[in-house]
Chains A and B, each alone.
Chain A
Amino acid sequence: MMPPGAVLSLEKVERTYGENRALAGVSFTVHRGEAVALLGPNGAGKTTTFRLLTGLVPPSAGSLEVFGLDPFTQRSHALSHVGAVVGSPGTLPYLKVSDLLEHVGRVRGLPRAQVLGEVKRAAGEMGVSAHLGRALGSLSTGQERRVLLSAALVGDPEVLLLDEPTLGLDPVARADLRGLLKDLVHQGHTLLLSTHLIEDVGPLCSRVLFLKNGRLEGDEPVTSPPDGAIRLRLRFRIEVPEEALRLTLRPWGIAPSPVGPGYVDLSIPGGEGAQVEVLRALVASGAPLLEAERLQDDLTQRYLERIGREEE
């Protein structure tokens, strides 16, 4: 029985694959409107949790519910308000983006008249409207990932289960995608996100579940520091004149600090949105980025305490 307001619930769930125990007695609940991160190293059991929640595999022991239903035995009803991306799916390169999204709309049983509108809305949410007529094989990794997320959004599902949505993306594409996901959370979607990247968690989620070797090592609020406290430290090789760099950064009041011949450091304050804006301007100016480091926050410290360093 799920607690009131809960949409996802796992109770002492275990899952074994032969001799390998992927999940060992995991329990947690996700409530309507929450954005929760499942954080852990590779092999922690994150994808297994998603496979269980999407009814792809049954639990070996324990019970889980999605909207009060067993997702394995009552898949089509349990997942009717769920959009999910699990694992690292590929695409058929000769299909158009719109082909995939329209197909998802049709399989979801949307009335024919609504399918096109819904496809445009879902593509718009992920910023891929301009690519609807393009072949999937012509997209970059980041664009393809956004198309797959759009496919999960067709039908406007209430709950989103996203397994490593930013995996394999470059820093700018990752930040862009985080921004888009943040918008979805603000719109009221319930989000369960798995990641092994700490920087994905703070901007998006209010609660974090630490998973290690199939065990839940922590279930706590993210309590991200205020935006102003997160700083992004970048190191650039100056191929453009330093003065040009100063001019580029003037609107944000950021001054480059020389750290050696031909190199400068930048420390960018503010939230992720502001930092992405500065990064974009810098990339557009042609300044080659050598290093980027987000200064360690409380969450990183907690991750190290709960998960440790011996991952992989």
Chain B
Amino acid sequence: MTSPSPSWSGFSASLRWEVIRWVRSRRVFLLAVPVVAGPVGSLLAFLYLKVASSDTAGLLGVLVVGALSGLVVLDLCALSIGEELSRRSHGPLLLLPVRRSALYAGRATAVLGATLGAYGIGALEVLELAHLLVPGSGSQVLALEPVHVALGMLAFLFLLGAVAFVAALVTGSASEALGLGVLAGFSVSVLLVYLLLERALTLAVPAGLAVAGAATLLLGLRTYVRMDVGGS
């Protein structure tokens, strides 16, 4: 006999479940993309473009790592609960005596924590590489500090992951969630470029992106808590 599972058990088991799924499906290697391919790609870009200043190199590197991380974030977040819904394998888990909010929080923490963590490591690597390999300061004044861009990118990726994660819940399909995530990424990128050109890209923008991501996750929690297992 078991007593009702405390929320912590549900949270930690759910977090572990996500990791086991990455390991068994070999998707865990995707997390190496921002950490390994990001710096390598950035290095090639520094050399090919003969970047003169370390700030420009850092900015370029953060954008390369961010773009690669975006793909990983979208993929893993869309496949998190979305894959289970597509295969109808969520039923046995939703019938367990545990708060669904704890299960949801565990899944979201694992997938967003790991993908954003991988981005963070990749971003730190390229910023360090930029300083080591491109020592010149250059004469050009950049519109944005590389470190600010790196932090802003974190908020952008958080929103992207949250959209893909929740879209999978709402549509019940990982592939549709991936499509919606790409669409969201494109729309937000266009908005960011516009704000940059208008010189309105202030600190409030990444903060707004992070708040939008958190709001999206809360919306997903509402859906998950009420989710049925299907059937006739």
B98 touches A163 (CB 8 A): no
Bitwise, B114-133 to A at CB < 8 A (1) or not (0) is 00000000000000000000
Q: A103-B17, A106-B9, A109-B9 are in contact. Are A155 and B92 (CB under 8 A)?
A: no
Of A76, A84, A90, which one neighbours B89 at CB under 8 angstroms? Answer: A90
Q: How far is the CA of A88 from the CA of B91 in the complex (A)?
A: 8
Q: A109-B2, A155-B1 are in contact. Are A148 and B97 (CB under 8 A)?
A: no
Q: Does B143 contact A (CB under 8 A)?
A: no
Chain B residues positioned under 8 Å from A81 (CB to CB): 1-2
Chain B residues positioned under 8 Å from A103 (CB to CB): 13, 16-17, 20, 93
B21 touches A95 (CB 8 A): yes
Q: A86-B229, A92-B87, A107-B10 are in contact. Are A76 and B92 (CB under 8 A)?
A: no
Q: How far is the CA of A108 from the CA of B1 in the complex (A)?
A: 10
B24 touches A76 (CB 8 A): no
Give the dominant DSSP class at A's interface: loop
Q: A42-B232, A95-B24 are in contact. Are A109 and B88 (CB under 8 A)?
A: no
Of A77, A90, A94, which one neighbours B97 at CB under 8 angstroms? Answer: A77
Of B13, B14, B103, B228, which one neighbours A51 at CB under 8 angstroms? Answer: B228
Closest to B8 in A: A109
Chain A residues positioned under 8 Å from B17 (CB to CB): 103
Q: A76-B4, A95-B21 are in contact. Are A90 and B232 (CB under 8 A)?
A: no
Q: How far is the CA of A151 from the CA of B90 in the complex (A)?
A: 13
B54 to chain A minimum Cβ distance, whole angstroms, is: 44
Of A54, A92, A100, A104, which one neighbours B83 at CB under 8 angstroms? Answer: A92
Q: Does B25 contact A (CB under 8 A)?
A: yes
Chain A residues positioned under 8 Å from B96 (CB to CB): 79, 104, 107-108
A109 touches B4 (CB 8 A): yes
Q: How far is the CA of A86 from the CA of B13 in the complex (A)?
A: 22
B31 to chain A minimum Cβ distance, whole angstroms, is: 17
Q: Does B175 contact A (CB under 8 A)?
A: no
Interface centre among A80, A100, A106, A109 (most CB of B within 10 A): A109
Q: How far is the CA of A86 from the CA of B96 in the complex (A)?
A: 12
Closest to A43 in B: B232
**Once A and B bind, how many residue pairs between them come within 8 Å at the CB atom?**
124
**What residues make up the interface of B, taking CB atoms closer than 8 Å to A?**
1-6, 9-10, 12-14, 16-17, 20-21, 24-25, 83-84, 87-99, 103, 228-232
Q: A75-B97, A103-B20, A109-B98 are in contact. Are A85 and B3 (CB under 8 A)?
A: no
Chain A residues positioned under 8 Å from B9 (CB to CB): 106-109
B107 to chain A minimum Cβ distance, whole angstroms, is: 12
| A–B pairs, 6, beta carbons within 8 Å | A80-B3, A89-B90, A92-B89, A106-B12, A106-B13, A151-B92
8 Å CB contacts to B: which residues of A179-213? none
Q: How far is the CA of A94 from the CA of B232 in the complex (A)?
A: 27
Chain B residues positioned under 8 Å from A163 (CB to CB): 231
Q: How far is the CA of A158 from the CA of B97 in the complex (A)?
A: 13
Q: Does A259 contact B (CB under 8 A)?
A: no
Q: A80-B3, A103-B17, A157-B1 are in contact. Are A57 and B24 (CB under 8 A)?
A: no
Q: Does A217 contact B (CB under 8 A)?
A: no
Bin the interface of chain A by size. 35 or more
Interface centre among B1, B95, B232 (most CB of A within 10 A): B95
Closest to B6 in A: A109
Q: A103-B13, A163-B231 are in contact. Are A108 and B89 (CB under 8 A)?
A: no
Q: Does A56 contact B (CB under 8 A)?
A: yes
Chain B residues positioned under 8 Å from A56 (CB to CB): 94-95, 228-229
Query: Other than the known A47-B232, A92-B83, what 13 A-B pairs have Cβ atoms closer than 8 Å?
Result: A42-B232, A76-B99, A79-B96, A79-B97, A80-B5, A92-B89, A94-B25, A95-B21, A106-B12, A109-B6, A109-B9, A109-B10, A110-B2
A87 touches B99 (CB 8 A): no
Q: Across chains A and B, which 3 residue pairs bring their CB atoms closest together, nearest first?
A: A87-B231, A109-B5, A106-B13
Closest to B86 in A: A90
Bitwise, A111-136 to B at CB < 8 A (1) or not (0) is 00000000000000000000000000
